[in-house]
Amino acid sequence: MNKKKDAIYYTEAGDVDFGSRNFQTAYIKYTRALKDQPRDPTALFQLARILYWMQKYTTSEAKSRKLIIIDPKNDMAHFNRGVTLDSLQRYEEAEISYRQSLIFHPNYANSHHNLAIALMKQGKYEEASKACEKAIQLENQDDSAHNVCGYLYLLQGKYERAMLSFDQAISLTPNECLNHMNKAMLLYLLGNEEEMEAALELIKERFGNQSFAEEVEIYELELERLKKQELSDKNKDKQRGDCIKGIKFMIDFLQGSNKLEPLEQN
């Protein structure tokens, strides 16, 4: 077989393995296809995804970047590059990638959703809220988008809207513990002790038999981000301080601490 036919064969074989979630063998076959056809867009696209799942983020980003050079209008290549840049904590570049993706596919809800997260990580909460609201407008059954939108409202002190978003997220996916945790944190910030206790009891009853390591890690990373954030606006700085207290409260709860002190209400 000639090189072009070889590449087609290995790409198609890789697709079969990819569809069966045999990612290691798919990786080998896509790599083999690229040896014969280094500009094969399908092999590059799928290989970038597999490398991302293997947590080889730098190599994954390079493959997506190469694909974008070959096919600049490939919206999913821009999107996948954004996801990888997120994982590398290169949020400004991720924002650019998501915006590029939206140029070619303006109604892709996931791009708006991920753009919201990249903006949030940079402290651009108002812009992030608009992006998240657009994601929900396009796909209103995504509990994660409602949860992110709720957290963005919380960061801005818009507690009523945050509560509506968290309740919607819980209504859509009642078995996602992070939705309940963020609502419990909001109730803590509101000083609503009775409802907060009920929310925490529900978390213990429904999710108490599982490890909260992933959720603790999410909160710890957000805590670190908020502590590093510099604000000149005193009102925003106070709001950030309250959010830090709320996150610490949830970490203490998830780690089983009994030292849960109430938030001082002003």
Q: Is the pLDDT of residue 259 over 50?
A: no
User: In the prediction, which pLDDT does 234 show?
Assistant: 65
C-alpha span between 49 and 127 (Å, rounded): 28
Query: Are the CB atoms for 247 and 226 separated by under 8 Å?
Result: yes
Q: Is the pLDDT of residue 261 over 60?
A: no
| pLDDT tens string 200-238 | 999 999 998 888 999 999 999 999 999 988 765 666 788
User: In the prediction, which pLDDT does 198 show?
Assistant: 97
C-alpha span between 133 and 151 (Å, rounded): 12
Average pLDDT score over the chain: 91
User: In the prediction, which pLDDT does 258 show?
Assistant: 38
- Which two tokens mark 170? 């819980």
Q: Is the pLDDT of residue 15 over 90?
A: no
Average pLDDT, stretch 124-146?
97
Residue from 60, 130, 56, 86 nearest 225 by CA = 86
CA dihedral 115, 117, 119, 122 (to 10 degrees): -150
pTM score: 0.89
User: In the prediction, which pLDDT does 70 show?
Assistant: 96
Average pLDDT, stretch 159-187?
97
C-alpha span between 151 and 157 (Å, rounded): 10
Q: Is the pLDDT of residue 257 over 60?
A: no
Q: Which amino acid is at 69?
A: I
User: In the prediction, which pLDDT does 232 show?
Assistant: 59
What share of the chain has pLDDT > 70, as a percent? 94
User: In the prediction, which pLDDT does 266 show?
Assistant: 47
- Which two tokens mark 139? 């796909």
Query: Are the CB atoms for 7 and 40 separated by under 8 Å?
Result: yes
